[in-house]
Structure 1
Amino acid sequence: MPRPWLLAIGLLCTGCSSNWQSALEPQGDVARHLDGLFWLFTITAVVIWLAVMLVLLLGLWRRARLPQAVADRRAGIAVGAAVAATVVIISGLTLASYLATRPLASDAPDALVIRLRGFQWWWEATYQDEAPDRGFLTANEIHIPVGRPVRIELAAADVIHSFWVPNLAGKQDMIPGRDNAITFTAQQPGIWRGQCAEFCGLQHAHMALLVVAEPPEAFDRWREAQIAEARPPADEVEAEGQRLLEAKACSACHTVRGTTAAGTLGPDLTHLGSRQYLAAGMLPMTRGAMAAWIADPQGVKPGNNMPMVPLTADELQALSAYLVSLK
């Protein structure tokens, strides 16, 4: 469980959401290494500051009582010792930093491989598999099994982004034309918030990502559900929503497997309703929020690439009902 004072800070910073983030509450193997490194640097810095203050006070006290030549000689010895100690300390911290960050780029033979691409301002996740028909796309929310290494292959589609889920791992940049990767293992179930950690434009602060760590059995069930095509409409309202999706401009940008919508410019919507948030963490996954997002995407998230599609009130209700039903 999170430490109470960290939880309080996390709730304040995330608007009383349970999906908070803190590098000081590690829940993955790599995050634990980095947490240890953080405290090593912090404690070392505190000890050095205390030592400097002590030597300064001692020097001022003795200088007033010793001959000038003796005071200068002792000052020279102190400076030489400080230089030697600085070299040793910096070398030790450099080695500790290297050892702590090595797991970020380590490879594991049984790792779950997810290719993550950063866009302005959302995330596309591709779950890869040796069988082509078992791979699938999702967006802004990834599920991983507890106890199994996960290798995130990172790429940027437009500008520089940075992948960071503080509770699970360190940061790794996503640079156009250059592929990076990061490997980590979640050690217990939970929902951890990640974000882009490199300024990437107007909505940089609203480019969030959820990582859901769950037991292997639950992950397998989720994966099987994601591989399947979109569920058919359950009533006439949802059927009208599907018709509108295919007839309007939505189908030119989005894919819903099992329908004629096959666009690739925006997120895959096949199982949109199963995600917890809309627009990369901007809105909760509710029918009202969905209608607000469709009606005025620029009002919710200015500068994003989703255009406003003219819809009547009845059409908006039908389309939002259908999209929320895609679980």
Structure 2
Amino acid sequence: MATLVSILLLLAMWWLTMTTGALAISPGRVVATLTGGGTRIENLVIIDRRLSRLLAGSLIGFCLGTSGALTQTITRNPIATPDILGVSAGAGTFAVLALVRPETTERLLGVSTTVALVPVAILGGLITTGVILTLGWRGGFDGYRLVLVGLGINALALALTSWLLTRAEVEEASVAVRWLVGSLGGVRMGDVVYLAPMVVLAVLVCLRLAGGLGALRLGRDIGQALGVSAGRTEAGALITAVALVSVATAAAGPIAFVAFVAPQVAMRLFGTAGPPPLASGLVGALLLVGADFLAARLPLELPVGIVTSVLGAPVLLYLMTRHLRRTSV
């Protein structure tokens, strides 16, 4: 039932986004445009702008929600998500390096900076994760130790990003700053081309790891006693999470708190003992599309990253306060 409700809400947000905005378009004209009968202006607004933004936004939200659920599960810590651990910031730092040094990027990789953003962001996410694990590993995933290390890495990555911006030319720096805010305004159908395969791959991996992740929620030792290869399951989940958040960051910039909030909402909505990865992806898509709908229709249009931060920060404070109360009892 919760799955059906989530899908219906997502479809409703799609419909509202397609028909409302600066140029309101009737449902009949939306259908006509989608079936090939639209005018040039309608094709531009509905297909080139709104549809591409909705598709990419839904896929990015799915990537963020699923990645958050995977990291929360393997660390058994509701605060341990890629954006809080610094993975998103690390991917962003590498992407900014590519943006502010476009000539060097194109010469080294042999492709345009736009195309290079995806592999560069994934590389940045993997390197950042490696550093976090090296500093935070203690015979396994110690959730709170990883959070502390991740917060430090996050601060370092943000400092490096700021330094890169101060050393960049004005034009390149302005492009990077707009990207760093986190926005769906610049996404196009081309982004869907590499986002869609990542979502399909994530679904397959999550289905493959479902049993192992469920056992690990009971504890690493219990999971191993049940015959689960804890190391293999944790490694597969972590690599998948890093790839998902890195691809999402490359497409729209760092969008905060979706990876953190979506698993917690999904866990309560679906009544599960831990964050369900695929359901969290669905909720993440709904949250991001809804936040973008709100951001685009405010009197002053805002990047979606600002809206998700405003909505997500109170949830983070609530969970941290609740944890402190539990540990003080």
Using the size of structure 1 for normalisation, the TM-score is 0.21
Higher RCO (CA < 8 A, seq sep 6+) = 2
More helix by share: 2
More strand by share: 1
- Return the index of the structure with the highest Cα Rg: 1
